[in-house]
Amino acid sequence: MHGMEKLRPLALLFLRLGLGAIFIYHGYPKLFAHTHEFMFDAANYDRLPGYFGRLAGLVEVLGGALLMLGLFTRIAGLLLTIELAAVLWMGHELFVNPRAVGRYELPLACAAGAFALATFGAGSVSLDAAFFRGGARPVRKAKA
């Protein structure tokens, strides 16, 4: 299994790109499309203020873009995990009917992926690695 560890940067890159695309795809209509009817229905259904839909869209679009770039990945992953936990609890009623997996499978999978990125970070193929860990420069050993 040690050979698979060499693929970790590539796996984290694919996870970031895939999740980022999903989040941007789902967040964009909440911000920019004419979804006033959707927002009104969602707010009344969940008994939430209408601006929560716009806030969710902002978190999803910006968080998805940050994931794709690999910039501030841990923070973006944590914010997206928190947002999806609220979605699962209030919107998809995970705890009301846990056997209805078809109603919440996508948010649950995205929350798990976002939490994994918040835990493991962006990997070496990212802007986080380039800006905050010195990028491709070798790590100097401390003198004894």
| pLDDT per residue as tens digits for the range 109-128 | 999 999 999 999 999 999 99
CA distance 22 to 45: 24
**Residue 135, pLDDT score:** 47
What is the structure's pLDDT at 141? 63
| Model pLDDT, residue 92 | 73
pTM of the entire predicted model: 0.82
* Per-residue pLDDT at 44 exceeds 70: no
| Distance separating the N- and C-terminal Cα atoms of the chain | 34
Sign, CA dihedral 11-64-96-101, equals: negative
Compute the distance between CA of residue 92 and CA of residue 70 in angstroms, rounded to an integer.
Answer: 29
Distance CA 39, CA 25 (A): 17
Q: What is the pLDDT of residue 47?
A: 60
Q: What pLDDT, on a 0 to 100 scale, did the predictor assign at position 76?
A: 97
**45-103 per-position pLDDT tens digit:** 556 677 788 899 999 999 999 999 999 999 999 999 999 998 888 877 788 888 888 88
What does the pLDDT read at residue 136?
47
Q: What is the pLDDT of residues 21-39, one digit of tens each?
A: 999 999 999 888 765 555 5
The pLDDT of residue 1: 67
